[in-house]
Each structure stands twice: as structure tokens, then as C-alpha cells.
A and B are shown apart, each in its own frame.
Chain A
């Protein structure tokens, strides 16, 4: 299998084509570099993860009072401990995802995109590999600190299956989130200001994705709408899988994530090819 985009100019000016393994190796190197870069500052990494303590403390106060007011040990099938572990996983995914839309739009606005586009790698895949390296470590830090705090508050976490299933689903979550980030970032080719799109997307994740509240607590009509949108499969899917792991649920989460990846990823690809073809760079 040959890849056209992997072609690179050799010293003699001939186009040399690489195998798929070489292409994967290239992005692996980008991922590894970012990973090592983040590992070089462990204190900074742990410091960034402290935010999850704040959120977990507020959630604990909110839901302890709410469960107490309702006077029931479970709401929509979730106990207080389930809710807190769900929120911990949801926050860990949310806080560790690497928002590339800002980087994208800055590079488009200041013209530095020109220097990246003529490099022998794909602009989109380069950013994904780089962002993944950062997200992986941030996720580890958030899980470590978040779990310690929630364990102290409500007791031990769900079983090992929850960790494995949720961990697998989180990788697809990042990929799906990355597609949205790319879409927002690429919009800088068309509109002047992309911040508004970014804020609104983040709020959709907080609300319809289930970061602030498990979707199970929604009224039925809103739950149906949320589950038919991609945001739920970025956050709710892995977090719910974490507290109630089952093969059937895992299959359902994967299926939804793959469907939305095909849809949103396809849109990103089409738009990327169009805007790059139309790109005009002035100056030097």
C-alpha cells in the first residue's frame, strides 16, 4: 500500500514514496516527541491536574445535598458514589483533551500554516499526533489525582473492567473531539473570529455531553436528543461505561463513536482539501 501524501523530496529532487509503516512511524515520532516534551515538566503536569480537585469538591457538595434532599439512595439508577465516579471520568476526559482549534486558527491567521503545509506530513494528522501525546499524560494526571480525591469522598472505584473499557473508548473520544476542534480551527479560513464557535462547542460538551450532569438525570425527551448527538459519545459514553461496564454497552459506545467519526471526520477531510486548494499566502 502506497501513500501519495507521504511523498517527500529527496536530496536529488526526486519524489520518494514511503510505505504505510513509514507514514505511521512519522506520526509516531511526533506523538513521542510531544509525550517526552510534556514529561520533561512533571510538576507542571501535576499542577495542571489540580483543577479536577476543585471540580470534584464542588460536585460532591452539590450532589450530596441533592441526594439528601431527594431522600433516595439512587437517582435514575445511579448512587451518589456512581455519580461521583462518573463525574470524575467525565472531567478527566474533558480536562485532558487537547484543544487544537485555537492553535489551528492562530496558524491560519498569522500565516504560519504556510510553513506547516509544505512539510512532508499531513497538517491535520501532525496536529492530532502532537495533541494525543499531550492528552495522554494529562489524562493520566487527572485520573490519578481525581481518583484519589473521589476515593476519599465516596469509597473505592468501579472494577477493573470499567477502567479498561472506558480507557479504550476515551481514545476514540479524543479522536472525535479532535475532528470538532479541526472543524472550528479550519473555519478561520472563512471567518475572522473563531472563539465564539469554540466556547459554544465546549458548552455543548458540558451540557449535552454530560460533563456537568449525567444524561440519565435529563428528562426523557432531552435524553433522546442528547444521545442522538455526537457530544454524548465524547464524554457520556466513556464515563457511563466506567461506572457500568458491560460488553453490550462497550459495543454500543464504539458503534456510536465510529459512526460520528466517519461523519465528522469526513466533513473535516472535505473542508480541509477545499480550503488548502483555495489558500493564498502573501508576503514572505
Chain B
């Protein structure tokens, strides 16, 4: 376990050093993504300025939600950058490289790349959480702990979901369209108040597209401690993680090498 952890940390360090070779490009993407998220959030400012609250959710709830989702999404897709392009790695036979090395294939493949723009999402999420604390007027060490836990759960479910969907490439070939729709669905749904949706829709958001585990549930948990919510978050993370790893390795048995000569620099 310790060896795998130090291996992943080494990969992350390499990715960071690589990004620092193009410092201006990295910073442009980080700042650009922060601005991008901030402009998007203006929609909710305008919305709640006019309608005040919807089914019990107000602007402060949205700040908490954006805080958790952006931090979790940013950290997840930065540290495991290949989670958004796993299907193309499988379809193009580019898993050969990871299979030939004595390291866990999935972990190695996911952590081998970082997205610069995701660092912008992560930073924006922290700002949003800061603003949520300021406007809610409540803060404490326990809230920080809940925020960390909520973001970790968000990362686990998001990455597991992306792996799960893209692992279907092993069986059905090209899943680029499915991946795009699944990605859009999980990100979009996670950024809306869960109180908008009724029973059937909620079931959908906890199972097929588990956006509730990425946004609403951890955001509510960050705001106030609830043992049941903590159990739900942990159970959700564990179930999706186990499922993703199981399906990926099951599919890997069907993997066909691209036999292409690959050069990694």
C-alpha cells in the first residue's frame, strides 16, 4: 500500500513538473477556468436575487454545493487526469504501456496525466467554500473536516463512475458518445439543487447517474453533521469504487493490444 502511494505521488510530481514547463499555459488555463466557473455561478446569483429560494435551497446552499463539486471535480480530474480519456486509451490499444509495467494498471493509467484546467476548478471550489462560510456565518474545525471528507467522497464517486462508464469500451468498442453524455449528465446534475427532483428522479441520481453523491449529499453534510448522511456518503463511495475496479479488471481480460509502437516522453 505504502509503495503504491509513493508511486502515485511520484507520478503526480512528474505531472506537475511537466506542467511547469509550460507555466504561462498552465496559469492561463487555471485562471480561465476560475473565471469560467465564476461567470456560470452568476446565473445562481441572478436567480436567487429574483426568486430567493427553491424548495428550501438558497444562494448559500449553492455556494456550498459549488464548493464541494468544484473542489472534488478539480482534484479528481487533476490527480487522475486520464479518467476523462480512459475510453480512447482502451479503444486505441494504448493500455499496452501500463500492462507491461509491474504496477496496478488502473491506478497507473488514471494518474499518468493531469489536466491543468482542473487546478482552476479546484481553486475555484476553495473560494466558493470560503464564500459559503462567510455568508453562512458558521465555521469550525469540524466543518473543515466535513468538507475534506465530502470532497474525498465526491472524488471517489466521480472517478469510479467515469471508470465504470468507460470500461464498457472493453465490451462495446467505441463509447466516446456515451462517455460524453455520461460526463455531461453527472456534472450538470451535480450542480443543481437536489430538492428540484422528485422520488423517481432522485433514485436515478443516486444510482444510474450518481450525481447526488458528488454534489448535494456531501454539500448538505458539510453544512451540518448528520450520521445517516455520513453513512450514505461512505457507502456510496465504497460501492462505486468496488464496482468500478471490478468491472474494469473484468473488462481488461477482453482487452486487445493495439500492437502499436508507442513513444512516451
Q: Which A residues have a C-beta under 8 Å from some C-beta of B?
A: 44, 47-48, 50-51, 54-55, 58, 61-62, 65-66, 69-70, 191-193, 195-197, 199-200, 202-204, 206-207, 212-213, 217-219, 222
Contact = CB atoms under 8 A, between A and B. Distances in A.
Nearest to B178: A47
Contacts of A196: 28-29, 31-33, 35-36
A69 B51 contact: yes
Interface in B191-239: 192, 195-197, 201
Nearest to B47: A213
A199 to B, nearest CB: 4
Contacts of B43: 206-207, 212-213
B201 A61 contact: yes
Contact of A58 (B31, B192, B195): B192
A207 B201 CA distance: 26
Contacts of B177: 44, 47-48
Interface in B39-96: 39-40, 42-43, 46-47, 49-51, 53-55
B40 A206 contact: yes
Interface stretch (B97-105, B142-150, B156-164, B180-188): B180-188
Interface string B1-29: 00000000000000000000010110011
Contact of A66 (B39, B49, B51): B51
Given A192-B24, A203-B40, A217-B50, A58 B188 contact: yes
Contacts of A207: 39-40, 42-43, 46
Q: Is the interface of A mostly helix, strand, loop or mixed?
A: helix
Contact of A219 (B35, B50, B196): B50
Nearest to A199: B36
B200 to A, nearest CB: 12
B100 to A, nearest CB: 29
A51 B189 CA distance: 12
13 contacts: A54-B184, A54-B185, A58-B192, A61-B192, A62-B192, A65-B55, A191-B28, A192-B22, A192-B28, A196-B33, A196-B36, A200-B39, A207-B42
B123 interface: no
Given A50-B181, A54-B185, A54-B188, A61 B196 contact: yes
Given A193-B24, A207-B43, A55 B36 contact: no
Nearest to B204: A57
Query: In the complex, which of the residues A48, A61, A62 has the most CB atoms of chain B within 10 Å of its own CB atom?
Result: A61
A51 B177 CA distance: 10
A65 B184 contact: no
A102 to B, nearest CB: 14
A193 B29 CA distance: 8
A202 B40 CA distance: 10
A58 to B, nearest CB: 6
Contacts of A191: 28
Interface residues on B, range: 20 to 34
A118 B201 CA distance: 54
A70 B51 CA distance: 7
A72 B28 CA distance: 45
B114 interface: no
Given A62-B192, A218-B46, 4 more contacts: A66-B54, A200-B39, A207-B39, A213-B46
A253 to B, nearest CB: 23
Nearest to B36: A199
A193 B28 contact: yes
Contacts of A66: 51, 54
A63 to B, nearest CB: 10
B154 interface: no
B167 interface: no
A51 B33 CA distance: 23
A199 B117 CA distance: 11
A65 B46 contact: no
B26 to A, nearest CB: 9
Contacts of B28: 191-193, 195-196
Contacts of B40: 203, 206-207
B35 A200 contact: yes
A222 B46 contact: yes
B245 to A, nearest CB: 28
A203 to B, nearest CB: 4
Contacts of B36: 196, 199-200, 202-203
Contacts of B24: 192-193
B116 to A, nearest CB: 9
Nearest to A43: B177
A61 B181 CA distance: 19
Contacts of A47: 177, 181
Contacts of A70: 51
Contacts of B55: 65, 69
Contact of A62 (B31, B33, B54): B54
Query: In the complex, which of the residues B53, B192, B196 has the most CB atoms of chain A within 10 Å of its own CB atom?
Result: B196
A65 B57 CA distance: 12
A192 B28 CA distance: 9
A219 B185 CA distance: 30
